[in-house]
Amino acid sequence: MRSLRNSVQLIGNLGMDPEVKEVSNGNKMARFSLATSETYNKPNGEKVTDTQWHNLIIWGKLADVAEKYLKKGKQIAVEGKLETTSYDDKEGKRKFFTQVNVNDLVMLGKED
């Protein structure tokens, strides 16, 4: 159970093409958003789809894979851990940003 303390698994569709950057040590980093959707029926029978957006970050060889193969709309499965950082905005107000630091990625769906 120790490995489950901070573990996230998501299946969804990319909301954007990955933004890939090379950081100071020569390592690659890719950022993108992922949409996960859940559909259910209200008691009155109305069908509702609830979509949640997640910020993802990938490093190293997985960033190379993201750069080469991932495009907006592509369905993927990821596993990683949650990371939350904070910063002060222009008005000095504390803001928080949560992202999934991806350890593993599987491309799903049909090939384009």
pLDDT digits (tens, 9 = 90+) for 28-61: 999 999 999 999 999 999 999 999 999 999 999 9
Q: Where are the domains of the chain?
A: 2-107
Query: 12, 109 in Cβ contact below 8 A?
Result: no
Q: Does domain 2-107 have CATH number 3.30.1490.100?
A: no
Residue 32's Cβ-count burial label (10 Å; 0-12, 13-18, 19+) is buried
Task: With cut-offs at 50, 70 and 90, classify the pLDDT of residue 25.
Answer: confident
pLDDT for position 112 = 56
CA pair distance 28, 44, nearest whole angstrom: 49
Please write the tens of the pLDDT for every residue from 86-106. Answer: 999 999 999 999 999 999 999
User: Does pTM surpass 0.95?
Assistant: no
